[in-house]
Structure 1
Amino acid sequence: MPSSTPFGACTTLSEVLSVLRLADLAGARLWIDGGWGVDALLGGQTREHGDLDVAIEARHLSSFLAALSSQGFVAVGEDGATSWNFLVRHRDGAVVDLHVIVLDTDGNGLLGPPEAGHAYPADSLTGRGELGDRTVDCITAEWAVKFRDAYTGDLGDRADVLALCRRFGLPVPCQYHG
């Protein structure tokens, strides 16, 4: 899947932990997704990341955006941005890719218009991992692999999938063999 993260962006562990503290202050629960989500599941950083992917409930979005804005984050305004998936960037370089969800009665995180059928299944939102000195909510290993099997990944995706499969005893998807 092509990334909309600005070329050359790099989001460090220190910046991730700062964003998580801002979420705490805003009362916003985040689920870490993407490369940082993989690193959380693996218990430490394995590579550089251009951005921090997070799922956040729509009901917490405005307070979280206000907290981010107070610390110098601004909307990127990238092509393809929607109200349920867009980027914010700090003047010093950190990028947060927001995936805005609404939890349905079954605990699925609906992403975008319901008729589009995009969602984080309830099971995917039960992961726990470690980033720095803190435990975080994240996408489960099984779903992190399934989500990456839906598109042709890059070298980072390949490394992520293989590491998750090794650590959690998951089958390696066909496109990642060889």
Structure 2
Amino acid sequence: MFEAGAVLEVLRALRAAGCAVWIAGGWGVDALVGRVTRTHADLDLLHRVEQEPAVIAALEALGYAERLEGVVPGRPARFVMAEPGGRELDLHPLSFRPDGSALQRLDDHGGAFTYPADAFASGVIEGVAVPCLSAAQQVTFHQGYEPRERDLHDMARLRETFGITTHF
């Protein structure tokens, strides 16, 4: 279980280390909505690839360590860090372009996902402004697969809050 206080602790540590990150996934939806709407098993964070050593060091100082087993897909697309209490961070390195868009490498064969410049927004967790992905980007990520119950929940919250149409 990843609670709001733990999210803010991670963000404070990363900010203190000079790292830029954006919340994605379920916590990103809750940040956009401005309230906690469900329990969260992990925290998805996007970060600048050139800041990755500082990101890892800041998270290690909080007790997190990289988990190598069972991470699919793994690097370069993403990696997981976990702490002994069971909290997990799903980390996604991004290479930013001069126009503010970003690329996430998906494999070592040139595959990549592009984030448009307007994919980066802000939200609120427990009254604290936090960087996150935009509602439109969250909807984009929830296309092309069979949605789980939590995906349906998250998209319903975005529809209620922003009037966004989703396709499931």
Give runs of aligned pairs for residues 97-176 of structure 1, distance below 5 A.
97-112=90-105, 115-125=110-120, 127-173=121-167, 176=168
Instruction: Give the one of 53, 59, 78 matched to 2:50.
Output: 59
- How far apart are 1:114 and its partner, in Å? 8.3
Task: List 4+ stretches of structure 1 deviating above 3 A.
Answer: none
User: Which sits farther off after the overlay, 145-154 or 42-51?
Assistant: 145-154
Match of 2:85 in 1: 92
Whether the 8 Å CA contact 1:102–1:110 is kept in 2: the answer is yes
Residues in 1 aligned to 2:109 and 2:131: alpha-carbon distance in whole angstroms? 24
Instruction: Give the one of 29, 37, 48 matched to 1:46.
Output: 37
Deviations 1:53-110 (A, max 9, x none): 0110012111111011112100111333213401000111211100000001222221
Whether the 8 Å CA contact 1:40–1:131 is kept in 2: the answer is yes
User: How many equivalent pairs are there?
Assistant: 164
Residues in 2 aligned to 1:107 and 1:34: alpha-carbon distance in whole angstroms? 21
Whether the 8 Å CA contact 1:12–1:94 is kept in 2: the answer is no
SS of structure 2 residue aligned to 1:153: coil
Residues in 2 aligned to 1:93 and 1:133: alpha-carbon distance in whole angstroms? 26
Task: Look up the equivalent residue of 1:45 and give its one-letter code.
Answer: V
- How far apart are 1:122 and its partner, in Å? 1.5
Structure 2 unaligned runs (5+)? none
Task: Look up the equivalent residue of 1:123 and give its one-letter code.
Answer: D
Label 1:62 to 1:116 Cα distance change in 2 as closer, same or farther (>3 A): same
Residues in 2 aligned to 1:56 and 1:23: alpha-carbon distance in whole angstroms? 10
Match of 2:3 in 1: 12
Structure 1 unaligned runs (5+)? 1-9
